[in-house]
């Protein structure tokens, strides 16, 4: 299968890419940081020399760059089997005092990136009545929390996009899954000491996604809510 993953250079995106590569699928990856992206590609190519790993540096929060990446995918892949809208950013704040422009930034990174790329790749999926779209939401999509601010707002919007898309794509046999992770050990947690395994590993999210992608054509996991065993922090 041809797997498209945004924000694939590190964290959850890299873990998802690794999981699909291990299954022998062809990858089409992007990330904003070109150096990190190609380090990831090189690492994956050493581990999985028999698959095609394609990558293009792109900031999918920018509409023009998003379209360029989408065109590149279609030219390279021809068809897309799985699209994983993973690109995202967390910046803390509260609605009443966060920096001017933060809402626009969070909406662009966490919502528009998925919206525009999905719209660009959907016609091909609809033509063959096949495909699976995963949107990386967050537990911040489900409930408000302290210092969530515009990040949480953008993730609520991504949940709404996922639910509408799921309903619209039913007649076209295209699956849509919204993923709601709790705390995951990624760069967002900085120097957090996870030696006691208080929060999840990125590979946990990847395992859930690749498992959902393997179901029969008549089955879909609509929502994946996954939290640390001891609960949210």
Which are the contacts of 206, defined by CB distance < 8 A and separation ≥ 6?
12, 15, 16, 18, 19
In a domain, 67, yes or no: yes
**How far is 233 from 42, CA to CA, in rounded Å?**
35
CATH code assigned at 211: 3.40.50.720
Residue 28 lies in a domain: yes
Quote the pLDDT of residue 89: 95
- 31 is a domain residue: yes
Write the pLDDT tens digit of every residue in 170-217: 999 999 999 999 988 887 777 788 878 888 999 999 999 999 999 999
Q: What does the DSSP 8-state code read for residue 184? A: B
Q: Which domain holds residue 39?
A: 2-226
- Give every CB contact of residue 148 below 8 A, 6+ residues apart in sequence: 92, 140
Into how many domains does the chain fold? Answer: 1
In a domain, 24, yes or no: yes
Place of tokens 């528009």: 112
77 assigned to some structural domain: yes
* Residue 232 maps to a domain: no
H or E, element range at 192: none
How far apart (Å, rounded) are the C-alpha atoms in residues 153 and 209? 24
Question: What percent of the chain is modeled with pLDDT above 90?
Answer: 90
> Is 151 a catalytic site residue?
yes
Share the mean pLDDT of the chain: 95
46-105 pLDDT per residue, tens: 999 999 999 999 999 999 999 999 999 999 999 999 999 999 999 999 999 999 999 999
User: pTM here?
Assistant: 0.95
Q: Give the phi and the psi of residue 77 in degrees, each rounded to 5.
A: -90, -35
Question: Of the listed 112, 115, 151, 180, which one is catalytic?
Answer: 151
Q: Is residue 231 part of a domain?
A: no
């Amino acid at each position: 299968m041809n797997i498209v993953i945004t924000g694939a250079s590190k964290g959850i995106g890299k873990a998802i890419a690794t999981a699909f590569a291990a299954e022998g699928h062809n990858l089409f990856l992007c990330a904003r940081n070109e150096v990190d992206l190609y380090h990831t590609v090189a690492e994956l190519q050493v581990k999985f020399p028999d698959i095609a790993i394609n990558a293009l540096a792109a900031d999918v929060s920018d509409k023009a760059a998003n379209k360029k990446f989408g065109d590149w995918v279609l030219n390279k892949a021809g068809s897309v089997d799985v699209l994983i809208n993973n690109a995202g950013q967390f910046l803390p704040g509260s609605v009443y005092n966060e920096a001017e422009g933060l809402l626009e930034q969070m909406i662009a990174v966490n919502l528009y990136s998925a919206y525009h790329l999905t719209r660009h790749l959907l016609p091909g999926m609809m033509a063959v009545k096949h495909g699976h779209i995963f949107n990386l939401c967050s537990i911040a999509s489900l409930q408000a929390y302290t210092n969530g601010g515009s990040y949480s707002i953008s993730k609520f919007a991504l949940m709404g996009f996922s639910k509408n898309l799921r309903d619209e794509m039913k007649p076209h046999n295209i699956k849509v899954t919204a993923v709601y992770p709790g705390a995951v050990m990624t760069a967002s947690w900085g120097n957090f000491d996870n030696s006691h395994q208080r929060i999840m590993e990125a590979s946990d999210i990847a395992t859930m996604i690749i498992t959902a992608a393997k179901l029969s054509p008549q089955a879909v996991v609509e929502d994946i809510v996954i939290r640390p065993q001891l609960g949210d922090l």
